[in-house]
């Protein structure tokens, strides 16, 4: 085994040298990623158009409501208030890592394809929103820019306890990560048997 080819040692990893293997690994996850990103960007545009300046829309009282917020930081508002540069760089790094992971993992089966596509789409949509969204109000790359990701889904599973607002891209990231962990756990478990 050559040092650079770990496919024999780790069956979940694959060789990245064959163009047909690269196409097979990327086609389904990238198509799903584009679909997730388009749906997320569309729902964020709808939220901005219909929820801005309005009281929250309660869908299932008190569990679910729609309320427009802008998250200037990373997940759960971390790194907020520091401009857009660091969150954009972190988002780009995450997207790059997910692309690398998509190339390296053998996406065998629909669950792993779905997991990688959901995570890529969620990361792409939030990066788009953070990098290209309205600069609110200082300009695209100004350190004073407070642009961020549009969040509008609010869950209150118990009275008095509210989950931080999120969007469909965030949901896709979480569901995709859960699916990927499940498939890797199943792979590890089957290797032990």
| Residues carrying an active site annotation | 151, 170
Contacts of residue 173, defined as CB under 8 A and 6 or more positions apart, other chains included, come to 118, 119, 122, 123, 126
CA dist., res. 166 & res. 154, Å (int): 7
Cβ-contact 173, 180 below 8 angstroms: no
Tell me how many helices (H) and strands (E) the chain has: 4, 3
Contacts of residue 93, defined as CB under 8 A and 6 or more positions apart, other chains included, come to none
- Residue 20 buriedness (CB in 10 A; 0-12 / 13-18 / 19+): exposed
Cβ-contact 30, 109 below 8 angstroms: no
Question: What are the CA-CA distances from residue 172 to residues 81, 119, 124, 147 (Å)?
Answer: 25, 6, 11, 22
Cβ-contact 77, 71 below 8 angstroms: yes
CA nearest 9: which of 107, 104, 115, 100?
A: 104
């Amino acid at each position: 085994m050559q040092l650079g080819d770990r496919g024999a040692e780790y069956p979940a990893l694959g060789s990245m040298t064959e163009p047909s293997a690269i196409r097979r690994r990327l086609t389904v996850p990238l198509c799903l990623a584009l679909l997730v990103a388009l749906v997320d960007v569309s729902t964020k545009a709808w939220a901005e158009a219909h929820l801005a300046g309005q009281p929250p829309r309660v869908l299932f009282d008190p569990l679910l409501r729609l309320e427009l917020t802008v998250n200037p930081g990373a997940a759960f508002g971390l790194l907020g208030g520091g401009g857009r540069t660091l969150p954009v760089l972190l988002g780009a790094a995450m997207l790059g890592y997910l692309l690398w992971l998509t190339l390296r993992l053998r996406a065998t089966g629909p669950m792993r394809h779905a997991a990688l596509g959901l995570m890529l789409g969620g990361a792409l949509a939030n990066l788009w929103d953070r990098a290209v969204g309205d600069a609110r109000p200082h300009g695209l790359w100004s350190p004073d820019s407070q642009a961020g990701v549009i969040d509008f889904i609010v869950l209150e599973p118990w009275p008095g306890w509210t989950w931080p607002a999120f969007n469909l891209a965030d949901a896709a990231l979480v569901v995709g990560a859960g699916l990927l962990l499940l498939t890797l756990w199943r792979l590890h478990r089957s290797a032990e048997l």
